[in-house]
Amino acid sequence: MKISHFIEKYFWIFLLAGIVIGLWQPVHFVAPKYLPKILLGMMLFFVFLKIDVLEVIENIRNFKLMISIALLYMIIFPIIFFLMVNIFDRQLAIGVLLLVAMPAGVSSPALTDILKGNISLAMSIAVVTQVIAPFTVPFLFWIIGTKGLEIDKFLLFKDIAILVFLPMTIAHLLKRNFTPVVERSQHTFTSANILTLFAFVYVAISSQRNIILDNPVNLFWKTALLYVVFIILHIAGYLIRYKESKENKIAFSVTAAYMNNGLAIVLASTYFGPDILVLMVLSELPWNTLLAPFKRAVTYL
C-alpha cells in the first residue's frame, strides 16, 4: 500500500493524533499568529490543484443556489440553534449562536475532498459565506438584542484574499505551466492535505491546552452539546437539497458543519467572556473527530 493511500484511507488517525498530541505534548513556544493562516492557505493550494477554478466561478454565478444556502447557513440555522439552547441557558445560547453563525471554514473544500464530494461547490460556498460574514454576524447579534458585534471588515476581506485567492492563483499558474508534473502528482494532494490538517489541529489544540483541561467536568457537558450541534448540522446540510447528487450533498453537509471556528475563537477572545471562549475552543473536538464517522455513514447513503 502506498503511503499516500494509507494516509488517505486512515485520515481519522491523523486528526485524532493532532488532538491527543496537542493535549499531551503541546507546542513549547508561542506559535506565530499567522501560522494557522499559512496552514489553511496550504490546504487550499492543494485543493485548487485538483479543481477547475472556472467551476467555482460557475457555481457562484448560480445566484439562486448561493442565496438560499447563505440564508440557511448564516441566518436561519444560527437563530434556530440559539432559540433551542436559550430555553436552558442564555449565555451558552449566545456562544452557540456565535459558532453556528461563522462562515464555512476555508478548510471545508479539503474536507470535502477527503469525502469525495464536490470540491468546487464546497469552495464556492466557502467563498460566498466568508464574504457576507461581516454583515450577517453583527445582524444576528442585533436581532437577539445583544450589544452589537463590530467586525473589522477590511481585515476579514484581507484574510479572504490571502487564504483563498492567493493559493488559487498560484495553483492555476502551476497547472498552466507545469501540467505534466501536476497531473503526475494528483494522487498525493489529498494525503498532503491530511498531514497539513494534522499540523493545523495540533497547533490549535496546543495553543488552548490549559483552557481545555482547566475544568473537565463542566467542559464535558459543553462538549456533549457541541457534538449534538455538529451532528444536526451534518444531517441538515445533507438533507437540505435531497434531490442533488451524492457529491453535492456531501459538499452541503461539510460546509454546514465545518464552520470557520478559528474566526469564532478570535471573536470570542475579543468581544466575549471566558465562558464563550472556552466553548469556541472545545468546538475543535467535534470538528476534528466527526469526519471519520460521517465518511462511514455516507457510504451507506
C-alpha–C-alpha distance, residues 44 and 193, integer Å: 8
pLDDT at 48: 78
* Cβ 41 vs Cβ 162: under 8 Å: yes
Q: Residue 272, Cβ neighbours under 10 Å: how many?
A: 19
C-alpha–C-alpha distance, residues 295 and 301, integer Å: 10
C-alpha–C-alpha distance, residues 229 and 232, integer Å: 5
pLDDT at 294: 93
C-alpha–C-alpha distance, residues 100 and 144, integer Å: 14
* Cβ 230 vs Cβ 290: under 8 Å: yes
Report residues of the chain scoring pLDDT below 50. Answer: none
pLDDT at 247: 94
Q: Phi/psi of residue 33, each to 5°?
A: -65, -25
Q: Give the global pTM.
A: 0.79
**Hey, what domains does the chain have and what are their CATH numbers?**
32-298 (1.20.1530.20)
C-alpha–C-alpha distance, residues 114 and 36, integer Å: 20
Reported as a single tens digit per residue, the pLDDT across 79-129 is: 999 999 999 988 899 999 999 999 898 778 888 988 989 988 998 998 888
pLDDT at 31: 65
pLDDT at 250: 95
Reported as a single tens digit per residue, the pLDDT across 227-237 is: 999 999 999 99
At position 235, the amino acid (one-letter code) is: I
